[in-house]
Structure 1
Amino acid sequence: MRIRKVLAGVCLPVLVAGCVSLPGSTYELERLQEAIPAGTPFVQALTHEYTAFADALRLQRDWFNSQYFARKGLEIVQGTVVGPEDPANWSIDSQSARQEMADARGRLLAVLNDGGPAHAPVLTATAQVKFDCWVEQEYIAHGTEAVEACHRDFLAAMDVLASAAGKPAAAPAAAKDGAAHDDSFLIFFDFNSTQVTADGSRVLAEVVKTAKKMTGKSLQIIGHTDGSGKGDLNRRLALRRAEAVQKALIAAGLPADRLLVQGRGSSEPLVASPGNVPEAQNRRVVIRFAN
């Protein structure tokens, strides 16, 4: 029987507090789903990605790994810097797969240490979690389509990050919007929807709390879509998403004259994807504090 070394000594006593991994257990995932992502856009995106990954594993009835990655997400929420998995800590049979993953992890660490989280926060978070997905699926089911899907998604994210390396576009965009990365929040939307989700509502609660401490600043609410629709329709959908967030913030007590709304359609994707292909990470509203 293959044993994953990464958790050796961590979850052996089943009754240890905070280490529940019995079949069907979702305690850690539920805690993560209830948490409010905060911090930099990278931290928020990484929390979102690990939440989605842990939930996908739950749907596969992979209870143990679902809880493991949910705990990883909770560490991020609590302010811990969490890196990509080390394949050496997983009992992966294929030597060629282990070597390929080790090389890929080195490239990913270079991105993480060289400004990726600041310049391309969502894409960098996607790359990290897709790498972890690749490692986990290789451990579970070598050679299957699930492994290849995670691998392809990781490589696609890394290709875009590599093509953008050294380009200063991200920094001026943030400066133009007049907001620091630490004062930004991301709200994600379902396909073709303007309804704020439960996760989005938790983020908005954090926005309201922060806004009440920053009474002299306005909030820019910028709606975006993926590229699956036509230009004019996407711009209108992006604006309606921003207006839905504006309405929720007004209902929570923020004055309307502090809330500046824009809709930018699909012109500023955070995750590169082929034309007309839905991409969840691009369906978002960005909230930034501005002077």
Structure 2
Amino acid sequence: MATPMSASAFVKALRDEGLTVVEVGDWRDHNRNHKGAWGPVHGVMIHHTVTKGSANTVSICQHGYANLPGPLCHGVITKDGRVHLVGYGRANHAGLGDDDVLQAVIAEKALPADNEANTDGNRHFYGFECENLGDGEDPWPAVQLEAIERAAAALCRHHGWDERSVIGHLEWQPGKVDPRGFTMASMRARISDRLDGPSSDDWKPSTPGTTPSKEDPMAGYSQAQIGDAVLHRDNIPAPKSAPDKAKNPKWTLSSYAQTILNTLNTALDELRALRKAVDALAKKES
């Protein structure tokens, strides 16, 4: 249980964790507080947006829809790894969820199945919407996954929470599937690793046309540019497994590379989660 941090402390925590933060409009005063209480806060909730295009995604999360007014979260994490702050206070992101899940988050214990929708989550969770179509095929760039990890860790670090205070929407509300494309177990393992060390501001995401980042020397180039530079030609036949083969009969070399990289990243995340579980068991037995 914790009192929500101030807007100034919120943005400072994110930047101290090494994130590039974009402050959108009057985000500090943009909220749904007139509809109910904001706080005490107990954790962080991760979502995917089912949208495409960063500008469009940020606008939707800021303003919402006719039947669901914004803000729809506190921060929007776009594919380039930037965190766009669109609101602060009560936000329409979590909805009603399972009270047993909330109690497990508060106790920082393993989550039970979410089979009820009887508790106001908008009051108790910070929310990050992450730009992704949520179809299981839209990729999650490494820079975006690291931004999710850092954003969640920043809030956990401030409040003294561990990684079990971070959940996905699919773990809170029956019928939800977000975030889809990575597992929350793997993300919590990453957050746990980060919380084992100090916060850091030595990492900044890059976008095409800017200086490549310290961690990724190719960050200033598009996947197509990298693929074409390696292969010296525009396209190669798409694999039979290409989900969009009917619309795009050819893939760039970078598409193959990205598919392989996504598979390797998933395997690495699962190994990290397994290592954490083994370490925890060893400590318990000792």
More helix by share: 1
Structures share a fold, TM > 0.5? no
More strand by share: 2
Normalising by the residue count of structure 2, what TM-score does the alignment of the two structures yield? Answer: 0.28
